[in-house]
Amino acid sequence: MGFPRAKAFTQGKRVEVCSREDGFQGSYYGATILQNMGDNKYKVKYNRLVCEDDHSIPLEEVVEGDEIRPLPPLPPPKKTKAGFADGDRVDAFDNDGWWSGIITGKVGCYFGVYFETGHHIGYPERMLRHHMDWRNGEWFFYH
């Protein structure tokens, strides 16, 4: 599930890192590039993930360049006013990362989101964003 190689990410650049760990595949976590290690590897510091030994220290690790993408742009203003509808592909912020799912309906102020794992969870609109894919150096918007 890697992303195509793009130009090198620079130190200090805010990015998202795609997890490949079991149970976390396809989730994205905010991070900052600390160093280009060469050979398409980067040292990153996560915004919300912390070290197992000391939860006050942000997690740092070396990741492959194809696991990194720029931060998605904000949706066009007309999209933010439109909200979400059944069948929309979205990312839900949960467990310190963004997880891709499908809107299945709305109850009160919560949107039901179905995930490939079979989980179905309700989220307030503020915890959702329209899903975007980063392919060949461009963002593709789904609605």
pLDDT at residue 3 tops 90: no
- Residue spans per domain, the chain: 14-70, 77-141
pLDDT band at 1 (very low <50, low <70, confident <90, very high): very low
Indicate the pTM of the whole model.
Answer: 0.85
Question: For all residues of the chain together, what is the average pLDDT?
Answer: 88
Q: What percent of the chain has pLDDT over 70?
A: 88
How many angstroms separate the CA atoms of 107 and 47, rounded? 31
The string of pLDDT tens digits covering residues 51-83 is 999 989 999 999 999 999 999 987 665 554 458
118: left (phi over 0), alpha (psi -120 to 50) or beta: left
The larger pLDDT score, comparing residue 105 to residue 6, is at 105
Span 27-51, mean pLDDT? Answer: 95
- In this structure, which CATH number among 1.25.40, 2.30.30, 1.20.120, 1.10.357 belongs to the domain 14-70? 2.30.30
77-141: what CATH class?
A: mainly beta
Fill in the amino acid letter for 49.
Answer: L
The phi and psi torsions of 127 (rounded to 5 degrees) equal -95, 10
For residue 77, give the H/E element and its range: helix 77-82
How many angstroms separate the CA atoms of 21 and 13, rounded? 23
Span 30-43, mean pLDDT? Answer: 96
Q: List the beta bridge partners of residue 18.
A: 28
How many angstroms separate the CA atoms of 136 and 35, rounded? 23
Topology alike, domains 14-70 and 77-141: yes
Q: What percent of the chain has pLDDT over 90?
A: 69
Q: Cβ contacts of residue 88 below 8 Å, gap of 6+?
A: 102, 103, 130, 142, 143
